[in-house]
Amino acid sequence: MKKSISILLSISVFACILSAGCSRTELIEISFDAKPKPSLMGQVFIDGEVRVVGIYPLKEDDTLQSLLESAGGLKKEEDRIFCWVYFSSEWLFEDEQKVDLNRANEWLLQALPGIGEGTAKNIVSYRKDHGPFRHVKELMNVDGIGEATFDRLADKITVLDMRGPAG
């Protein structure tokens, strides 16, 4: 009997609280989604052997696979495919982002101060003829890059490989 009264009292208190909360006349949105929508974190530029090269939104829960799918997927199914995903969001980099001499396309090299179309082509040609850069100072071996140009670029370039940055 005490248990029944206790349950009945609890239900009455709950009903009073509920009815007091429901006496408001404004509408309240109720969402049944299990998780909130991912927030936009920036943009990525996807290049290489994808169907649609371009700039795509980067969301909080994106994976490499979902990013490649945004670019229409891969052009071909092979063991070795090259794709580049350039992240352009401030939250990814505490320091200024540097251009990797071993991976940058001509258009990206041209964005560097003092590098025009011809010099960008020379950098790419040097890379093809001599293999990847081993150190940023090796850039001075490229036609059109002198010490003055290198000094302007030194804090904007890097040489990355599987071991990480060099120089």
Neighbours of 79 (CB within 10 A): 4
d(CA 108, CA 132): 17
State both tokens at 117: 């179309």
Give the neighbor-by-neighbor strand order of the sheet with 99-100: 99-100, 157-161, 164-166
pLDDT of 165 reads 47
pLDDT in tens, 95-153: 567 889 998 999 999 989 889 999 999 999 999 999 999 899 999 999 999 999 999 99
Name the 3-class secondary structure at 1. coil
H or E, element range at 151: helix 147-153
Largest interatomic CA distance in the chain: 96
pLDDT in tens, 36-94: 666 667 788 888 888 888 888 888 888 888 888 888 888 887 767 788 787 764 544 45
**Domains of the chain from N-terminus onward:** 40-88 (no CATH), 99-166 (1.10.150.320)
Of 163, 167, 105, which is closest to residue 135 (Cα–Cα)?
A: 167
Sorted by sequence, the CB contacts under 8 Å of residue 124 that are 6+ apart come out as: 105, 106, 109
Question: What's this model's pTM, rounded to 2 decimal places?
Answer: 0.44
pLDDT in tens, 2-24: 555 555 445 554 454 445 555 55
Neighbours of 113 (CB within 10 A): 8
